[in-house]
Structure 1
Amino acid sequence: MERRNFLAATSTVLAAGPLLQLMNTAPAAATPSAVRPTDVEQIRTAASTLRSWDNLYGGAGVVRDTALAQLHWAASLLNSNCPAPLRAGLFSAVSRLATVVGASAFDAFAHEDAHRLFAFATSCAEEVDNWPLRAISYNLRSRQATWRGDPDSGLTLAELGLARADRLSPAECSMLHNARARALAKMGRTHQTLAAIGASDELFASIVPANEGPWMAYYDGAQHHGDTGHALFDLALAGHPPQEALQRLQTAVDSHGDGFARSRTFSRTKLASLRMAAGDPEQALADGRIALAEVSQLRSLRANHELGELSRIAHRHRTTSGIRDLREQITSTVVV
């Protein structure tokens, strides 16, 4: 893509719909006329910091507003004079920041904003042939499509992310196979889901953390077990034996540190829902109470939605002591 065409596309993405309105809620910092190494490093630092906030607090509060302002300034640098040695670093840093901001929008149910931001991140990565960041953007695009009820598109996006897998690391490939598994599970393709999980497991076992890029630092055992456990959760609700899903989700809950509070809450809520569906309401009740307390500390509409699913599944055990109280607390505590 020629630079002129790319920048025209960039302007279209950033100006579309309510995204521009959100970005204009605060005065924008002046755009430098020339890009310096410190500017690129600032964007990288912003992406890392905002991602950690998003994982810790959720994306539906101050995190998202702060992230949008940062991205507006970073994207404006694409129109500045950029020395050739800095160009790849600049576009890669902006791509990374766009995925972080898109993920916050996704968590806040600003789905059209998230869709545009993920596509923008892909364009930035492709502009400088950054295959790992391209893979990350496709992973998020796949997950959002699947979450929104379009697993067919989710599967296509995950497989596009795996294009030229020889240029990706084991963690990056494992991540995308998890996205494939989650899409396939929603489509009811049990054998293909299990095959995708098997491929992810094999790749995960070969990861050498020191050889992975810093953008994959989040992808540890907790994340891997949570992602694969989520795919198996959908199979279990459709009648597949639940034991492996329960085991993987429990491992994720036990392994996630406090810095990944939202991810831990997602897995704990899924664990409670699956135990409720599998006929273990007492243990599900204990997990559900903890999940409810954790969600109350987040600004995450996706976490609220997961609690709503738990409440719906718990309805079948409404005569069990404590279940009615849990469902009432979910209704009064979160917006489902």
Structure 2
Amino acid sequence: MPQPEKDLTPDASPQQWFGAELRYWRKRRSGLRAAQLGPMVQVSPSVISKIEKGAYRCRRELAMRLDDTLATGGVLSRAWGMVFTDADKLVHDADLCGASPFERRIQTPGGRVLGSRDPSIARFANFVSGRQRHGAAGVRGALPVKSQTSLDVPTAPPDLPNKISLREIEQLRHTADAIHLSDNSHGGGGLVWVMARDAMDWAVRLLSVNCPEHLQSEFLAAVARLGIVVGASHFDAYTHDDARAAFRIASECATAAGDWHLRAKTYSGLARQAIWIGDPDAGLTYAETGLVRSERLTATERAMLHTARARAYGKMNDVAGTLTAVGQADDAFAQSKPAEDPPWMAYYDDSQHAGDTAHALFDLVMQRGQDPGQAQQRFETAVAGHGEAFKRSRAISRTKLASLIMAKGDPVQAISIGHEALDDVGRLTSRRAADDLRELGRLSGRHVESEKALQLRQRIRATLAV
């Protein structure tokens, strides 16, 4: 039973007044406790209580996250400017809250030092605070032998090494590849989510370890690559706060490593997540940020980011913006040379490009009555090209294709495609695929006279209930 919260004294100091404001906005979210709010804004559970009591100074970035989470309309960010003018200059603030392994300095290429005053390290610390830090070894120990064999994740040592070596870098790369394969073939939930979470916790802990100068770029790039695949996995499982944290860690590490390719990929991930959860404007901003200095990117990477822009415009119901962005994506992809791409971009082939652009066009068909022909053709290309290794992508494209035809074409054909999609979705732990199935179920409900449509809806309900 939670203990009653102690009364605050907002008149005692500006800092305590700020704390009282935070509590007021938290309590407007019925039943939300301080310990619950902490993880939602990537700080340890005790930090919110300490800020409310005036025991810790809040950082500007945290105030902004609190505004977003509590929907204050920017009240706390404005209050921060009045109360904590010099808060960012302090070492002992709410994000770091005392001694932390991340207060050790990390020297990065080009002389940049990530230390206790650097907001990047604060975000890294926030990501792991309050969690059990098992590392990959903890995941391996929890899995049955058969699962361990299929996931093939290297076992991380139980203790931090004295310094970063090629062994840790190879483990990070190997683990990223394993999560990427498992996520695409099984979905981001279940054991894949556990594996991704614990692998990321281990990687973040490694950032506090001394790294020889000649390995710094490789090490930071390996952490960035892992952050990207973990972010994608968490996004698929709808643990969106963890996904954003992983993507942002990846962005910081990619930037520090000077790796423009990984940087572009992190912004692509952030863009797609923002678009999916209903913020296409933020998604568009992320995608266009990824395109900064686009001459440093490969044609395939530019296509990837333009498809994200197209999907953002599609959600905004901006016909001209969507069609222009799809055209730019197509033009870039036509110049694609796989030999120039990083190995981890191999997933972005004809099928991936077709599916991504089809999703953007799908929104125009459904919301603005555009011709469904182009979207249907692209979904068909995606479905035909995705094999078992990309079962989730195939399932999502097939479900969207069924929904498109159900709404704008032959319902009998749509029902047949829907059953094929269910064959794949039933073997996945993907919240995204499940939501697309719900949409197909709603669209099939328009055909109340059809016994086959009813059977499809019944099968969808049964699949989602498992």
SS at match of 2:188: coil
Residue aligning to 2:113? 2
RMSD over equivalenced CA pairs, Å:
1.7
What TM-score, normalized to structure 1?
A: 0.95
Question: How far apart, in 1, do the equivalents of 2:162 and 2:448 lie?
Answer: 63
Give CA deviations for 1:98-155 in whole Å, capped at 9, x if unaligned: 1111111111111111111111111111112211111111101011111001111111
- The residue number in structure 2 matching 1:118 is 247
Q: Does the residue aligned with 2:445 lie in a helix, a strand or coil?
A: helix
| 8 Å contact kept, 1:91–1:128 | yes
Partners in 2 of 1:335 and 1:304 — Cα distance?
10
**1:94 is matched with which residue?**
223
The correspondence of residues 1-336 of structure 1 with structure 2, limited to 5 A, is 2-4=113-115, 5=118, 6-15=120-129, 20=131, 26=138, 29-238=158-367, 239-335=369-465
Q: Is the 8 A contact 1:155 1:179 kept in 2?
A: yes
- Structure 1 runs not aligned, ≥5 long: none
SS at match of 1:207: coil
Equivalent-residue separation in structure 2 for 1:24 and 1:312 (angstroms): 42
Contact 2:392/2:433 (<8 A) preserved? yes
Letter of the structure 1 residue corresponding to residue 222 of structure 2? A
Judged with a 3 Å threshold, the aligned counterparts in structure 2 of structure 1 residues 221 and 191 are, in CA distance, closer, same or farther, namely same
Deviation at 1:29, TM superposition (A): 2.2
Q: 1:294 to 1:169 in 2, by over 3 A?
A: same
2:212 and 2:253 map into 1 onto residues whose CA distance is 17
Distance apart, 1:317 and its partner CA: 1.4
SS at match of 1:95: helix
Question: What per-residue deviation string (whole Å, max 9, x for no partner) do you get for residues 163-199 of structure 1?
Answer: 1111111111100000000000000111111111111
Q: Which has the larger radius of gyration?
A: 2
Identity %: 45
Q: Distance in 2 between matches of 1:204 and 1:335?
A: 39
Q: Which moved more, 1:163-172 or 1:261-270?
A: 163-172
Using the TM superposition, name which of 114-123 and 269-278 deviates more.
Answer: 114-123
Partner of 2:77: none
**Separation of aligned partners in 2, 1:21 and 1:244:** 48
Equivalent-residue separation in structure 2 for 1:267 and 1:194 (angstroms): 19
Between the aligned partners of 1:257 and 1:250, the Cα distance in structure 2 is 13
- Equivalent pair of 2:376/2:404 in contact (CA under 8 Å): yes
More relative contact order, 1 or 2 (CA 8 Å, 6+ apart): 1
Number of aligned positions between the proteins: 333
CA–CA distance in structure 1, aligned partners of residues 315 and 133 of structure 2: 33
Deviation at 1:329, TM superposition (A): 1.3
Q: Distance in 2 between matches of 1:44 and 1:9?
A: 22
Higher percent of residues as helix: 1
The 1-side partners of 2:363 and 2:230 are apart by 28
Cα distance, 1:242 vs. partner? Answer: 0.3
Aligned partners of 2:133 and 2:202 also within 8 Å: no
